[in-house]
Structure 1
Protein backbone atom coordinates (compact mmCIF):
# COMPACT_ATOMS: atom_id res chain seq x y z
CA UNK A 1 0.00 0.00 0.00
CA UNK A 2 1.34 3.48 -0.80
CA UNK A 3 2.57 5.71 1.98
CA UNK A 4 0.16 8.49 3.08
CA UNK A 5 2.12 11.02 1.04
CA UNK A 6 1.46 8.91 -2.07
CA UNK A 7 -2.26 8.51 -1.50
CA UNK A 8 -4.44 10.38 -3.94
CA UNK A 9 -5.91 13.67 -2.91
CA UNK A 10 -7.70 16.58 -4.41
CA UNK A 11 -7.66 20.23 -3.49
CA UNK A 12 -10.00 23.14 -3.25
CA UNK A 13 -7.89 26.28 -3.35
CA UNK A 14 -8.82 29.84 -2.62
CA UNK A 15 -12.49 29.48 -1.70
CA UNK A 16 -13.44 33.05 -0.76
CA UNK A 17 -16.35 33.85 1.50
CA UNK A 18 -17.64 36.65 3.68
CA UNK A 19 -17.59 34.93 7.07
CA UNK A 20 -18.51 36.00 10.55
CA UNK A 21 -15.35 35.06 12.38
CA UNK A 22 -13.34 36.44 15.26
CA UNK A 23 -13.20 36.66 19.02
CA UNK A 24 -12.70 40.44 19.33
CA UNK A 25 -15.88 42.37 20.16
CA UNK A 26 -15.61 44.44 16.97
CA UNK A 27 -15.65 41.22 14.92
CA UNK A 28 -19.06 40.14 16.23
CA UNK A 29 -21.97 40.64 13.86
CA UNK A 30 -19.80 41.61 10.89
CA UNK A 31 -18.32 39.65 8.03
CA UNK A 32 -14.79 39.69 6.71
CA UNK A 33 -13.13 38.02 3.77
CA UNK A 34 -12.01 34.54 4.63
CA UNK A 35 -10.11 32.22 2.29
CA UNK A 36 -10.32 28.45 2.73
CA UNK A 37 -8.06 25.83 1.15
CA UNK A 38 -8.68 22.09 1.49
CA UNK A 39 -6.60 19.07 0.66
CA UNK A 40 -8.78 16.00 0.90
CA UNK A 41 -6.67 12.86 1.31
CA UNK A 42 -8.45 9.76 0.04
CA UNK A 43 -7.88 6.15 0.96
CA UNK A 44 -5.97 4.38 -1.79
CA UNK A 45 -8.36 2.72 -4.24
CA UNK A 46 -7.25 1.70 -7.74
CA UNK A 47 -10.85 2.14 -8.95
CA UNK A 48 -10.42 5.87 -8.43
CA UNK A 49 -8.50 6.03 -11.70
CA UNK A 50 -11.16 4.38 -13.85
CA UNK A 51 -12.94 6.63 -16.31
CA UNK A 52 -16.56 6.33 -15.21
CA UNK A 53 -19.53 8.44 -14.15
CA UNK A 54 -19.81 7.32 -10.55
CA UNK A 55 -17.15 8.90 -8.37
CA UNK A 56 -15.89 7.17 -5.23
CA UNK A 57 -15.86 10.60 -3.61
CA UNK A 58 -17.76 13.59 -4.92
CA UNK A 59 -15.50 16.58 -4.30
CA UNK A 60 -18.57 18.84 -4.29
CA UNK A 61 -19.24 17.38 -0.82
CA UNK A 62 -16.06 19.11 0.35
CA UNK A 63 -17.17 22.36 -1.22
CA UNK A 64 -20.52 21.98 0.54
CA UNK A 65 -18.70 21.40 3.85
CA UNK A 66 -17.12 24.84 3.49
CA UNK A 67 -20.29 26.68 2.44
CA UNK A 68 -22.42 25.01 5.14
CA UNK A 69 -19.90 25.84 7.86
CA UNK A 70 -19.52 29.46 6.76
CA UNK A 71 -23.33 29.83 6.67
CA UNK A 72 -23.70 28.68 10.31
CA UNK A 73 -23.07 32.20 11.55
CA UNK A 74 -20.43 33.53 13.90
CA UNK A 75 -17.31 31.44 14.47
CA UNK A 76 -15.15 32.59 17.35
CA UNK A 77 -11.87 31.03 16.20
CA UNK A 78 -10.37 29.99 12.89
CA UNK A 79 -9.29 26.78 14.62
CA UNK A 80 -12.83 25.69 15.46
CA UNK A 81 -14.10 26.69 12.02
CA UNK A 82 -11.38 24.55 10.40
CA UNK A 83 -12.36 21.59 12.58
CA UNK A 84 -16.04 21.94 11.67
CA UNK A 85 -15.20 21.90 7.97
CA UNK A 86 -12.91 18.89 8.40
CA UNK A 87 -15.51 17.01 10.45
CA UNK A 88 -18.00 17.36 7.61
CA UNK A 89 -15.49 16.21 4.99
CA UNK A 90 -14.54 13.20 7.12
CA UNK A 91 -18.15 11.98 7.10
CA UNK A 92 -17.25 10.23 3.85
CA UNK A 93 -15.85 6.73 4.20
CA UNK A 94 -13.54 7.46 1.26
CA UNK A 95 -11.67 10.25 3.06
CA UNK A 96 -8.67 9.35 5.18
CA UNK A 97 -7.82 12.86 6.38
CA UNK A 98 -8.17 16.49 5.40
CA UNK A 99 -5.85 19.47 5.55
CA UNK A 100 -7.61 22.77 6.16
CA UNK A 101 -6.13 26.23 5.82
CA UNK A 102 -8.15 29.32 6.76
CA UNK A 103 -6.98 32.89 6.31
CA UNK A 104 -8.55 36.19 7.33
CA UNK A 105 -7.48 38.90 4.89
CA UNK A 106 -9.03 42.09 6.27
CA UNK A 107 -8.44 42.00 10.00
CA UNK A 108 -4.77 42.93 10.29
CA UNK A 109 -2.97 45.78 8.61
CA UNK A 110 0.37 45.26 6.94
CA UNK A 111 -0.12 41.57 6.13
CA UNK A 112 -1.84 39.76 3.30
CA UNK A 113 -3.56 37.44 5.75
CA UNK A 114 -3.41 35.77 9.14
CA UNK A 115 -4.38 32.14 9.10
CA UNK A 116 -4.48 28.71 10.62
CA UNK A 117 -3.52 25.34 9.09
CA UNK A 118 -4.36 21.91 10.47
CA UNK A 119 -4.29 18.26 9.47
CA UNK A 120 -7.41 16.44 10.71
CA UNK A 121 -8.14 12.74 10.82
CA UNK A 122 -10.65 10.69 12.80
CA UNK A 123 -8.16 10.18 15.62
CA UNK A 124 -7.90 13.94 16.17
CA UNK A 125 -11.70 14.25 16.12
CA UNK A 126 -11.94 11.62 18.88
CA UNK A 127 -9.36 13.48 20.99
CA UNK A 128 -11.14 16.83 20.55
CA UNK A 129 -14.49 15.23 21.37
CA UNK A 130 -13.01 13.68 24.53
CA UNK A 131 -11.72 17.08 25.68
CA UNK A 132 -15.14 18.64 24.97
CA UNK A 133 -16.91 15.92 26.97
CA UNK A 134 -14.51 16.31 29.88
CA UNK A 135 -15.04 20.08 29.94
CA UNK A 136 -18.80 19.65 29.77
CA UNK A 137 -18.73 17.20 32.68
CA UNK A 138 -16.54 19.55 34.69
CA UNK A 139 -18.94 22.41 33.95
CA UNK A 140 -16.28 24.46 32.16
Structure 2
Protein backbone atom coordinates (compact mmCIF):
# COMPACT_ATOMS: atom_id res chain seq x y z
CA UNK A 1 0.00 0.00 0.00
CA UNK A 2 1.25 3.49 -0.79
CA UNK A 3 0.03 6.94 0.12
CA UNK A 4 1.05 10.47 -0.74
CA UNK A 5 3.69 12.29 1.26
CA UNK A 6 2.31 15.75 0.64
CA UNK A 7 -0.84 17.56 -0.27
CA UNK A 8 -3.95 18.82 1.49
CA UNK A 9 -5.54 15.38 1.12
CA UNK A 10 -4.15 11.88 1.39
CA UNK A 11 -4.20 9.75 -1.75
CA UNK A 12 -3.85 6.06 -0.89
CA UNK A 13 -3.95 2.88 -2.95
CA UNK A 14 -3.01 -0.77 -2.83
CA UNK A 15 0.12 -1.54 -4.84
CA UNK A 16 -0.28 -4.97 -6.46
CA UNK A 17 3.07 -5.24 -8.18
CA UNK A 18 5.72 -6.59 -5.77
CA UNK A 19 8.44 -5.20 -8.06
CA UNK A 20 6.97 -1.68 -8.04
CA UNK A 21 9.31 1.13 -7.12
CA UNK A 22 7.75 3.59 -4.72
CA UNK A 23 8.73 7.16 -5.62
CA UNK A 24 10.27 9.34 -2.92
CA UNK A 25 7.12 11.48 -2.57
CA UNK A 26 5.12 8.45 -1.39
CA UNK A 27 5.09 6.36 1.75
CA UNK A 28 4.78 2.61 1.62
CA UNK A 29 3.53 0.14 4.19
CA UNK A 30 3.14 -3.61 3.99
CA UNK A 31 -0.36 -5.00 4.46
CA UNK A 32 -1.27 -8.46 5.71
CA UNK A 33 -4.33 -8.83 3.47
CA UNK A 34 -6.24 -7.08 0.71
CA UNK A 35 -9.00 -6.43 3.24
CA UNK A 36 -6.50 -4.49 5.38
CA UNK A 37 -5.43 -2.53 2.31
CA UNK A 38 -9.02 -1.66 1.40
CA UNK A 39 -9.68 -0.66 5.03
CA UNK A 40 -6.66 1.65 5.09
CA UNK A 41 -7.49 3.08 1.66
CA UNK A 42 -11.05 3.83 2.76
CA UNK A 43 -9.85 5.55 5.93
CA UNK A 44 -6.96 7.46 4.35
CA UNK A 45 -8.92 8.61 1.28
CA UNK A 46 -11.96 9.72 3.27
CA UNK A 47 -12.84 13.41 3.49
CA UNK A 48 -13.50 12.77 7.20
CA UNK A 49 -9.80 11.99 7.72
CA UNK A 50 -8.88 15.33 6.13
CA UNK A 51 -11.41 17.11 8.36
CA UNK A 52 -10.02 15.44 11.49
CA UNK A 53 -6.36 15.99 10.55
CA UNK A 54 -6.71 19.61 9.44
CA UNK A 55 -6.72 21.09 13.00
CA UNK A 56 -3.45 19.22 13.68
CA UNK A 57 -1.73 20.98 10.79
CA UNK A 58 0.21 24.19 11.14
CA UNK A 59 -1.02 26.99 8.94
CA UNK A 60 2.23 28.32 7.63
CA UNK A 61 4.24 27.01 4.73
CA UNK A 62 3.60 23.32 5.59
CA UNK A 63 -0.20 23.18 5.78
CA UNK A 64 -0.23 21.07 2.64
CA UNK A 65 1.72 18.23 4.26
CA UNK A 66 -1.11 16.21 5.76
CA UNK A 67 1.12 13.11 5.90
CA UNK A 68 2.88 14.48 8.98
CA UNK A 69 -0.39 14.55 10.90
CA UNK A 70 -2.45 11.55 9.77
CA UNK A 71 -0.88 9.15 12.25
CA UNK A 72 -1.56 11.52 15.16
CA UNK A 73 -5.16 10.35 14.79
CA UNK A 74 -6.14 7.13 16.60
CA UNK A 75 -6.40 4.98 13.45
CA UNK A 76 -6.66 1.42 14.73
CA UNK A 77 -4.80 -1.49 13.14
CA UNK A 78 -7.09 -3.56 10.94
CA UNK A 79 -8.94 -6.25 12.89
CA UNK A 80 -10.91 -8.75 10.80
CA UNK A 81 -13.04 -9.45 13.87
CA UNK A 82 -14.20 -5.83 14.03
CA UNK A 83 -17.47 -5.25 12.16
CA UNK A 84 -16.65 -1.59 11.39
CA UNK A 85 -13.23 -2.55 10.00
CA UNK A 86 -14.76 -5.19 7.73
CA UNK A 87 -17.42 -2.69 6.64
CA UNK A 88 -14.75 -0.14 5.72
CA UNK A 89 -12.77 -2.82 3.88
CA UNK A 90 -15.81 -3.75 1.79
CA UNK A 91 -16.64 -0.11 1.02
CA UNK A 92 -12.99 0.58 0.22
CA UNK A 93 -12.98 -2.33 -2.21
CA UNK A 94 -16.02 -0.87 -3.97
CA UNK A 95 -14.25 2.46 -4.32
CA UNK A 96 -11.07 0.73 -5.53
CA UNK A 97 -12.99 -1.06 -8.27
CA UNK A 98 -14.51 2.23 -9.40
CA UNK A 99 -11.14 4.00 -9.50
CA UNK A 100 -9.60 1.05 -11.37
CA UNK A 101 -12.23 1.58 -14.07
CA UNK A 102 -11.36 5.24 -14.61
CA UNK A 103 -9.62 6.30 -17.79
CA UNK A 104 -6.63 8.18 -16.43
CA UNK A 105 -4.44 9.67 -19.13
CA UNK A 106 -0.74 8.88 -18.95
CA UNK A 107 1.33 12.01 -19.06
CA UNK A 108 -1.25 14.02 -17.15
CA UNK A 109 0.12 15.93 -14.17
CA UNK A 110 -0.22 13.88 -10.98
CA UNK A 111 -2.02 16.74 -9.21
CA UNK A 112 -4.73 16.71 -11.90
CA UNK A 113 -4.99 12.92 -11.68
CA UNK A 114 -5.37 13.02 -7.89
CA UNK A 115 -8.04 15.71 -8.29
CA UNK A 116 -9.89 13.52 -10.82
CA UNK A 117 -9.78 10.48 -8.53
CA UNK A 118 -10.83 12.54 -5.48
CA UNK A 119 -13.80 13.94 -7.45
CA UNK A 120 -14.84 10.42 -8.44
CA UNK A 121 -14.56 9.23 -4.85
CA UNK A 122 -16.62 12.23 -3.67
CA UNK A 123 -19.43 11.10 -6.01
CA UNK A 124 -19.10 7.44 -5.04
CA UNK A 125 -22.15 6.05 -3.19
CA UNK A 126 -19.93 4.47 -0.50
CA UNK A 127 -18.28 7.76 0.50
CA UNK A 128 -20.97 9.09 2.88
CA UNK A 129 -21.03 5.77 4.72
CA UNK A 130 -17.23 5.66 4.91
CA UNK A 131 -17.16 9.21 6.28
CA UNK A 132 -19.75 8.36 8.93
CA UNK A 133 -17.83 5.28 10.07
CA UNK A 134 -14.46 7.09 10.05
CA UNK A 135 -15.90 9.97 12.10
CA UNK A 136 -17.45 7.49 14.55
CA UNK A 137 -14.20 5.52 14.80
CA UNK A 138 -11.77 8.48 15.05
CA UNK A 139 -13.82 11.50 16.03
Q: Flag the structure with higher strand content.
A: 1
Structure of larger gyration radius:
1
Query: Quick check: which one's helix share is greater?
Result: 2
Structure-2-length-normalised TM-score: 0.30
> Under a length normalisation based on structure 1, what TM-score does the superposition of the two structures give?
0.30
Of structures 1 and 2, the one with the larger relative CO (CA 8 A, separation 6+) is: 2
